[in-house]
Structure 1
Amino acid sequence: MSEDRTGADDRDYCLIDTARPPKADGPPFAECVLCREPTEYPKAYRGVTLCPVCEWQEAQRTACSG
């Protein structure tokens, strides 16, 4: 396996962004963009937020196979 200049090797083929917004310490929580349930993220966070259930389902749909 070869490594590139970033230190990643050939096994790092999954291109899913695993970055998440910071978790909130308490209410108010942001709404899930899919089911509108409360998430674990602060309401002030700008961007796509998912509740734990939708986050898990999205990870299942977009999981790298191979």
Structure 2
Amino acid sequence: MGNGAKAQQKRERNAKDAKKGPTSQLANNKAAMNLKCKICMQLFMNTSRAPQLQEHATNKHSKDIKDCFPDFQG
């Protein structure tokens, strides 16, 4: 058996074990966008922290975090 045959067998073995389907993270990121500013309706990921949301509220709307994100649990 030559090196070419060994390499082909290894490729076939690895192809059988390889993940099938898309590996993009975009769908998961889109589903995680569940914090919404009540004033401008901008979406934020559920992993956003209070300082980032407070910065949005003060810079965009000159309001407090509770005015823009009343359902946020900090």
Fold match (TM-score > 0.5)? no
Q: TM-score range by the shorter chain?
A: under 0.3
Structure with the bigger percentage of helix: 2
TM-score in terms of structure 1 length: 0.25
Structure-2-length-normalised TM-score: 0.24
More strand by share: 1
Larger radius of gyration: 2
